[in-house]
Structure 1
Amino acid sequence: MASTMKIVFGLLTFVTFGMIIGALFQLAFIRKLEDSYGVPIWNNDKEAELLRLGYVKPEVLSWSPRIILLHNFLSTEECDYLRAIARPRLHTSTVVDAKTGKGIKSNVRTSSGMFLSPEEKKYPMIQAIEKRISVFSQVPIENGELIQVLRYEKDQYYKPHHDYFADTYNLKRGGQRIATMLMYLSDNVEGGETYFPMAGSGECSCGGKTVKGLSVKPIKGDAVLFWSMGLDGQSDPNSMHGGCEVISGEKWSATKWMRQRASG
């Protein structure tokens, strides 16, 4: 009887020890997976590195209008680079006049901004951003307008509006705007959300106020991709959006508008 108990005890000890070792190996494996999450192994794949595959995380916010939030779309270096290029050349932002199609100053938009030049579009870091925008939006690079960089300071905003054109002047080169990539270049901003009043059925925060619709908080490196045209090829009124009032800090963003065809 005593010998039988010793055998049973020995087996239990062996099984228990084996379970402990197995659990430790499993925990180690899980920890390894956690540590590697979001850290891509590109194996010298330059295309994957350029597109930030493994870093960019798409999140569908709305199907009507179509809005996708792309987390980690830009690197910190790319955000700082765009701000550095833009800062010396900022001027008061304008809006498109529906009658003439030209930019005019308006209290609808109180930010300051600038456009990158065709020469700057050839810079390697800008080319990488342009290629990434094209791949994630599935719109050819040549269909895109020049990137615009904007700065919103305290109390500045952009009232809700549509990105598609209401005039014929701007339709002559490249046709209608079909999609917009809005990239955030700064952190530590209170307010300054991108607001879609006709998206969603709930409530959201906009410049410290609770309003109906959907809003996106500006987080450095994130980007919002949304379409001004529906799947039927018609301009989508629900794509109305605005920049909420900045409560504190500076909101920097870069915008890329994409057209139906190449404008060159």
Structure 2
Amino acid sequence: MVPISQKIYALDDIWQMDFEKYPLASHYNEYPFLVFENLVSKDECKRALNSLSNCDYKAKLVGSGLDESIRKTIIHTPTKEIKEVFEKAFFAIKEKVEKFYGVSFLKGTELQVLEYKEGGFYKCHADNASEIVKNGKLVGYKVVKPERKLTTLMFLNDDYKGGEVEFCHLRFANGDRVIHKPKAGEMIVFPSHGLFSHEVKPVHGNNRFAVVKWWDVI
């Protein structure tokens, strides 16, 4: 395994593949990604969630026709309240993220609200690239959304079972998988390229809500 931080390693075969691995943080950091807890309060998260079902605002569903063998997700357009909560969280950590990765933020994509109902999941995937598979084996990644270089993912609730995020190609020194259980009001930031491919484990009991925005950086 190849160390990409003090505590996290990349699998050898993935690291050696020829695909874009920008950006990466310094390997002197404990972790190659960032987890910011308690950026917004649970009350703020609750108000944001309630805005989705507010009778004065009917969230438009987008992303119809998703392949449910790969992902089972409902994608909502964000309400004003959700946008405000996300912006508050993002601007609280923006400078820290730029310093951590040695980048400057450019334009971001539109926000998406991701709802995983019971049984919802998302198999291992990269946020900006498609897998290149030959003879049933992963051999690399092809960038298909170059405007996505950093992923910012904020969670609005944690009153569900399952729904963990696993970074498929990363391991701890002892070989344990890198799995994170999100908390309400928390934001995770990580590169969007193939090295940080990740999956959302199946959700059990209650629905899981997250807000995602992808960023171009230099």
TM-score, length-normalised on structure 1?
A: 0.55
Taking the TM superposition and a 5 Å limit, the aligned residue runs for 1:26-41 are none
1:143 maps to 107
Greater shift, 123-132 or 214-223, is seen at 123-132
Structure 1: stretches of 5+ with no match in the other structure: 1-59, 95-103, 205-211, 229-234
1:208 maps to none
2:21 maps to none
CA distance in 1, matches of 2:187, 2:128: 19
Contact 1:92–1:110, Cα closer than 8 Å, also in 2: no
1:132 equivalent to 2:98? Answer no
List structure 1 segments (4+ residues) > 6 angstroms apart after TM superposition: none
Rg larger in structure? 1
CA distance in 1, matches of 2:197, 2:208: 20
**Percent identical residues:** 20
Offset at residue 112 of structure 1 (A)? 0.8
1:249 maps to 206
2:17 maps to none
CA distance in 1, matches of 2:185, 2:7: 17
Residues 10-50 of structure 1 show CA distances to partners (whole Å, capped at 9, x for unaligned) of: xxxxxxxxxxxxxxxxxxxxxxxxxxxxxxxxxxxxxxxxx
Structure 2: stretches of 5+ with no match in the other structure: 1-5, 11-23, 25-31, 131-141
Q: 1:86 to 1:113 in 2, by over 3 A?
A: farther
What letter corresponds to residue 88 of structure 2 in structure 1?
Answer: A
Of 158, 161, 177, 2:125 maps to 161
Residues 156-190 of structure 1 show CA distances to partners (whole Å, capped at 9, x for unaligned) of: 1011100113577744xxx3x11111111112211
Taking the TM superposition and a 5 Å limit, the aligned residue runs for 1:46-65 are 62=8
Q: 1:125 to 1:158 in 2, by over 3 A?
A: closer
Offset at residue 144 of structure 1 (A)? 1.6
Q: 1:63 to 1:93 in 2, by over 3 A?
A: farther
1:89 maps to 59
CA distance in 2, matches of 1:78, 1:140: 28
3-state DSSP class of the match of 1:80? helix
What letter corresponds to residue 105 of structure 1 in structure 2?
Answer: L
1:215 equivalent to 2:185? Answer no
Q: 1:74 to 1:254 in 2, by over 3 A?
A: same
1:193 equivalent to 2:154? Answer no
Contact 1:202–1:213, Cα closer than 8 Å, also in 2: no
- Higher fraction of helix: 1
Contact 1:61–1:67, Cα closer than 8 Å, also in 2: no
What letter corresponds to residue 111 of structure 2 in structure 1?
Answer: I
What letter corresponds to residue 73 of structure 2 in structure 1?
Answer: S
3-state DSSP class of the match of 1:132? helix
CA distance in 1, matches of 2:170, 2:124: 12
Q: 1:256 to 1:77 in 2, by over 3 A?
A: farther
Contact 1:115–1:147, Cα closer than 8 Å, also in 2: yes
1:74 equivalent to 2:40? Answer yes
The count of corresponding residues between Structure 1 and Structure 2 is 173
Offset at residue 254 of structure 1 (A)? 1.0
Q: 1:106 to 1:143 in 2, by over 3 A?
A: same
Q: 1:125 to 1:190 in 2, by over 3 A?
A: closer
Offset at residue 62 of structure 1 (A)? 3.8
- Higher fraction of strand: 2
Residues 81-136 of structure 1 show CA distances to partners (whole Å, capped at 9, x for unaligned) of: 33234443153646xxxxxxxxx52111211122337xx49x75554234225334
- Relative contact order (alpha carbons < 8 A, sep ≥ 6): 1 or 2 greater? 2
